[in-house]
Amino acid sequence: MIEVEIDGAKLACVDTGAPKGDSPTLLLVHGFPLSSQMWAEQIASLRTECRVVAPDLRGFGRSTLGRWPTADVEPTLDRYADDLVALIDELEIAGPVTLAGFSMGGYVAFAMWRRHRGRFDRLALLDTRAVADTDEGRAKRLKMAEHVGEWGAARVAELMRPSLFEERTPEAIVDATLDVIARSEPAAIGAAQLAMAARPDSTPELSQIDKPTLVLVGAADAISPPGEMRSIAAAIPGARFIEVADAGHMAPVEQPAAVSAALRELVRA
Ligand code: MLT
């Protein structure tokens, strides 16, 4: 892992595979409240194919939160998107970029589309949503943001457990993911929840996405249901839709080979 200083934070990042320069790059953006560790299988499988860059978003994994959020600026997902662009520049990534965002990483990908669409060439939306939160969903996030300091991240892991996995997913995979959540910084969890609660509805923009796009979902995803993701794919011109069998929300760790194969095809497209 390398470390890059970006706007007051130290961002830790896997940077492996093809050398610097204009080789194709796969930029993997993790979900909430996880880290680049969720991509371990994809990194191992795809590093022979292209350069693979997988950051820990601000505050997660081995990255620091830096001076964010500040008292007078509401946290938004734009912060993570701006960090990704700074990372692309710092790492001198000059070739085509395939941006793959999982769940919260997909929300960040939509922020990239709004703010920095010239900085990536292909898009993978994995187990994510285009809609904004309902009032009820937003209220739950605000509650967690307010209380996570007292609760601790282990409680967040337990709260999330029932919605993350297909029921037959092996215990070892479940435990490894929950362990990452339980080790997350409460302050990073709070900031991310506030940022997700403030995200806009991206549905009206789907029809404008003019990049080769993969939309992938676990068949038993309870957070970003297959029907909803199928509609996302239908709204993006030419998008490919893949439903992965025997996977819930955490498709990249539950069925890593299927997810890697789909990403490989997109990078090669
Ligand atoms: C994630 O996996 O990133 C989260 O479940 C997304 C969310 O809370 O909406």
Q: Whose CA is nearest to atom 4 of ligand 1?
A: 32
Q: What is the pLDDT of residue 38?
A: 98
- Tell me how far apart the alpha carbons of residues 220 and 198 are, in angstroms, rounded to a whole number: 27
**Most informative mutation of 29, 60, 104 for ligand 1 (most atoms within 8 A of CB):** 104
Which atom of ligand 1 approaches the CA of 163 most closely?
Answer: 5
Residue 224 CA to ligand 1 center (angstroms) comes to 9
* Interstrand relation of 9-16 and 2-6 (parallel, antiparallel or unpaired): antiparallel
Would you state the structure tokens that stand for residue 248, as one six-digit string? 């819930």
Q: Whose CA is nearest to atom 9 of ligand 1?
A: 104
Pair 114, 233: CB distance under 8 Å: no
In the chain, alpha helices (H): 40-46, 78-90, 104-116, 135-151, 153-164, 171-182, 186-197, 226-235, 251-254, 256-268
- Tell me how far apart the alpha carbons of residues 68 and 135 are, in angstroms, rounded to a whole number: 25
DSSP state of 134: P
What's the whole-number average pLDDT of the chain?
A: 97
With CA atoms as reference, report the closest residue to 81 among 199, 249, 235. Answer: 199
- For the segment 119-134, the average pLDDT, to the nearest whole number, is 98
For the segment 202-226, what is each residue's pLDDT rounded down to a tens digit?
A: 999 999 999 999 999 999 999 999 9
Q: Would you say residue 94 has pLDDT above 90?
A: yes
Query: Is the pTM for the entire model greater than 0.95?
Result: yes
**Most informative mutation of 165, 178, 196 for ligand 1 (most atoms within 8 A of CB):** 196
Q: What is the pLDDT of residue 20?
A: 75
Which atom of ligand 1 approaches the CA of 104 most closely?
Answer: 3
Give the helix/strand (H/E) hosting 6: strand 2-6
Query: What are the residues whose beta carbons fall under 8 Å from the beta carbon of 262, sequence distance 6 or more?
Result: 124, 214, 216, 242
With CA atoms as reference, report the closest residue to 97 among 114, 121, 113. Answer: 121
Q: How confident is the model at residue 73 (pLDDT cuts 50, 70, 90)?
A: confident
